[in-house]
Each structure stands twice: as C-alpha cells, then as structure tokens.
C-alpha cells in the first residue's frame, strides 16, 4: 500500500489504525544497554541474547581446545569482550 493510499484509507475508514500497519517502520532498539540494577551492560533484545549465546559457545569451545594454554585463552577472551562493545558503538548508544 502506497503512503497516499494509507492516508486515503485512514480518512475513509474509521477502523483503520496506523499503529497496527504491518508495513510501518518499527523503531530500532539497541541490542545491548545498561542493566537496570548494578553495574555494566547486558542484552536488551533477542538479537543481543543470540550474540551472548554465540559468544558463550565460542568461549566454551576455546576453553576445551586450549587445554590450559594461557596464550590461547587470552586470545579467546578478546572477542568475547570486544564484540558487545563494538555492537554498542555501531548502534551509537553506549
């Protein structure tokens, strides 16, 4: 439906609700944000929780593969810490 058709529909149809329009762009929410209690940031949307799950699985695999080698563990920790901060920076919402 074109925007001018939507306007016409809303003028003609008293039942039309622009809030329920499936083609209306939805506001984008940040994946990570401040925690409501305590310090730090945490996931706010399902996408943030998926990122956290993937990072957790990655960390567990790297812990099993490293076999206690400190250098490998240190390299494995970097993406787990950096990825959420990069996502927050790209969203422009610290």
Residue 52 domain-assigned (yes or no): yes
pLDDT digits (tens, 9 = 90+) for 40-53: 778 888 988 998 89
The answer to whether 58 touches 79, Cβ cutoff 8 Å, is: yes
pLDDT band at 2 (very low <50, low <70, confident <90, very high): low
Residue 20 domain-assigned (yes or no): no
Residue 9 domain-assigned (yes or no): no
Residue 15 domain-assigned (yes or no): no
Total domain count for the chain? Answer: 1
Residue 45 domain-assigned (yes or no): yes
pLDDT of residue 4: 57
Overall pTM surpassing 0.75 (yes/no): no
Residue 10 domain-assigned (yes or no): no
pLDDT band at 72 (very low <50, low <70, confident <90, very high): confident
Domain residues for the domain of 74 are 28-90
């Amino acid at each position: 439906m074109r925007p001018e058709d939507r306007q016409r529909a809303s003028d003609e149809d008293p039942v039309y609700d622009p809030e329920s329009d499936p083609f209306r762009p939805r506001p984008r929410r940040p994946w990570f944000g401040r925690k409501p209690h305590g310090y730090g940031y945490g996931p706010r949307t399902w996408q943030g929780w998926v990122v956290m799950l993937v990072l957790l699985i990655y960390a567990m695999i790297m812990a099993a593969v490293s076999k206690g080698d400190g250098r490998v563990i240190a390299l494995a920790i970097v993406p787990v810490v950096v990825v959420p901060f990069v996502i927050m920076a790209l969203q422009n919402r610290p």
